[in-house]
Amino acid sequence: MSNAVIECILNRSAAKYYDPAATLSDDQIRELVRIGTSAPTSFHLQNWRFIAVRTSEAKARLSPIAWNQPAITDAAVTFIICGQLADSSVIPERLAPLVEAGVMPETMVPEWEVPARDLYMEYPQRQRDEAVRTGTFGAAAMIYAARSLGLGSTPMIGFDAEAVHREFGLADDEVPVMLLSIGAESPGNWAQKPRRPLDEVLDLI
């Protein structure tokens, strides 16, 4: 099995070294996030926000609360990928563009809102799980888009979540899901690491 998309997936690795002189324009950053937001989300909640840390001042604020990981200083941009606690009350607003475009009949909106309310409203853990799933899907799309553009990427959980929350003014319903550095790589990065054998991770039933 092989095509350009599969090659892109199979050739991606988590970058350690970035060219500190290489920048991305705000339009390139916007385009990466626009592609990221094409990822699927539960009930089309789109419960995410992306903070693009790209100036040396902003990087200097992030670096000490993210283990001083070199990618933050060296990569063109590090996104604080924020997931928002799942809240069914936003569904009418999120579905409105589909209704306006004639894709979804208006009568169907409660058919999405009511089960979402039942699923999440009384269940804080599910709200948070959904925030993390949403942020992760968005980040994954950006990682592969970056690779396809010849850029490196590094997802990072090595940061102080409470400090990032405070320093970057995340709202009460926002979870910093991960940091994601993206930029032109420097030589010396490892290739993708070998994975566990398929037999260990796949159950065919």
40 forms part of the interface with ligand FMN (CB under 6 A): no
Distances (CA, A) of 26 to 20, 33, 156: 17, 11, 22
| Class of residue 156 by CB neighbours under 10 A (exposed 0-12, middle 13-18, buried 19+) | middle
Contact by Cβ (8 Å): 88, 113: yes
Measured from the CB of residue 144, what is the shortest distance to ligand FMN in angstroms?
12
Measured from the CB of residue 170, what is the shortest distance to ligand FMN in angstroms?
18
Which residue among 8, 14, 90, 149 contacts ligand FMN (CB under 6 A)?
Answer: 14
Cα 89 to Cα 156: distance, rounded to the nearest angstrom: 31
Q: Residue 110 or 158: which CB sits closer to ligand FMN?
A: 158
Residue 103: other Cβ atoms inside 10 A: 10
164 forms part of the interface with ligand FMN (CB under 6 A): no
How many CA atoms lie less than 13 Å away from 55 in the CB half-sphere?
3
Q: Residue 45 or 178: which CB sits closer to ligand FMN?
A: 178
Measured from the CB of residue 185, what is the shortest distance to ligand FMN in angstroms?
12
Which residue among 110, 157, 166, 171 contacts ligand FMN (CB under 6 A)?
Answer: 157
181 forms part of the interface with ligand FMN (CB under 6 A): no
132 forms part of the interface with ligand FMN (CB under 6 A): no
Strand order in the sheet with 77-84: 48-53, 77-84, 174-183, 152-156
Q: Residue 81 or 85: which CB sits closer to ligand FMN?
A: 81
